[in-house]
Structure 1
């Protein structure tokens, strides 16, 4: 890859009391990773050098003052803060949450300005990061506000993609939140991302039911009969390849998911439990629907093993690779679409 083509990959450091810094530094301790992208960590070089020693790593950190000055072939660090940080691995600390937000805020600002091409976020603690500036249930909602667009949490591996109708919604509220409008909106997002980001020409999508056995024809709740089925029919009548609702308890066990380009679950655990069971730590969280590319590992801060040099980097490494792949596919799709419009004599 020519240096001029090197993708600038921004990284927010997450909660420093968790495993985020460990998986970031260990990933780029392997110098071969620098053949694929130019990493830019938004954090503080002093604390990262301390953590590098903690984990007995040899990765060299290149301090830069702006992402535009990132050096290809190096692990670059933009100093987002100058203060000393007191790290206590495994502890919830609102002070550490402030640094997590400052890293995310700086990285997101650079993404908005196209100073970086892709953002990979290390795990945050959703309680300690809360403040007047960040009052969201997670990264996804914050990024949707900052970047614009309708977001959808899409968990991905090479062979499985699971999206969510509702993500961080209390179980008791799910039936009231799922409306025909929400279903159509989320399915449209997943259709567009499959086309532009994953090179799927005619997406085929499965929808999982809300209630056990998809309601058993109304015996176990009316939502599947009254909301999901009519909406899916509307979409199919328009020519969309959308099918369901399928009973969630057997859908993955029978490997029915292999017949579809993506699966959309009604709520968080309905989709994420089977996804994480099948992905074995290789899954990636991708925020579909935004005008920029953001990925993250499919796990949290893992406070129970933080600082013990035991963290598995596979999911974070996959998040890096998937971010790069999606960025390239999206650019290819945009170029192809523009070329087609030009051939048709339409003004772009």
Structure 2
């Protein structure tokens, strides 16, 4: 194995990975995958007996802040990948999981590698928004025999970080929205982190209009209102491409057959809740976007887009 790359994957983890390979296979290379926030991602090239190669992906939870929640998260993701097998939803297949670091240096999950790449630039966003909406409708149509855990929302009125230079009245009104109890809503299967950074696309160079989704990754399955997944993708689109695309996604979702909450006030609650949750994570989400080729998305630039999106929500639905 490449010695420089071997240093990025601990020896215990490499031994664990090797135990889950086919006879005669070995890890020959590891490459860091950028864009992750809560875990380190590596693409492992596996040398085969016939001289060919195949790729796997290793998720390793090394951050002390997130490691304490790794066991539940990796268990949930492993369960989701198993559930999704054969459903038509393009997700990786589970190879192995060590959620408690019983064999590895850190909690880890090994899965198959999917073709495609994340696409975060503005060109072609209209087509991708429609594809994202259709894919989310398909995910939420799943009806597992055993429901995943109930959704959790951590943001409260007291944890919102109001960006500098905002309209105080608008943000006060938005924060007041989430002081209320969540509206009752029939639940469905949620990805719980469905957004452009967790969707892989194939974009033919000669025909970019023929873009298609090849994979959905980073599953945190939950059971809850469909509006939650819609709200989460909407705010990410607003921060990546501008508030108009955050507002557009809910329309595309309904056009694709998705069903949102019945009343405007209920829709506002979920959309505002996820937008305000983003206020606590602007720095952490903007960094991987810059690393992925969007250097203009500084923390301050993303804060301004978030402010504009919250204002648009309150004007349209408030």
TM-score, normalization by structure 2: 0.27
TM-score, with length taken from structure 1: 0.25
Structure with the bigger RCO (C-alpha within 8 Å, sep 6+) is 1
